[in-house]
Amino acid sequence: MKKKILVIEDNPMVVKSLEFKLLKEGYDVSIAIDGRSAMEQLEANNFDLILTDLMLPFVSGSQLIEHIKKNHPNIPIIVLSTATQEDIITDAFNMGVDDFITKPFSPNELALRVKRSIGSFKNQFSHK
């Protein structure tokens, strides 16, 4: 069964790039262009991984991450951001994200990190 990834990103060019690469890698991809629609999709579907930007309309990436960690604590989260300031990256990890990728990113690096995050998510449950 295909692994399901929720991509939360408001930039159409980034969405296209992510969707293209993830579909090519064999994942089932859902898109949310803002935090509000992401929360709706999270309630309606089960996801194996979340890729999110921090700068989103309506609900900030930080608020969204808090919501996910509270309501879906076992779903790995990878943050995609143009932010390179150490404090922003540190804050993201302190909120419990699993990985942080700086934009622009290499599609191959993205694929490897997604695979690694989904793999560790799967292993988390195979040992219980």
What whole-number distance in Å separates Cα of residue 91 and Cα of residue 68? 16
Least Cα distance to 68 among 91, 35, 25, 90 occurs for 35
For the entire predicted model, the pTM comes to: 0.89
Residue-wise pLDDT tens for the chain (128 aa)?
899 999 999 999 999 999 999 999 999 999 999 989 999 999 999 999 999 998 888 888 888 999 999 999 999 999 998 887 888 889 999 999 999 999 888 999 999 999 999 986 554 444 33
Question: What structural domains and CATH numbers belong to the chain?
Answer: 4-126 (3.40.50.2300)
- The label of the residue with tokens 């890698």 reads 25
User: What are the backbone dihedrals phi and psi of residue 11, each rounded to the nearest 5 degrees, phi first?
Assistant: -90, 115
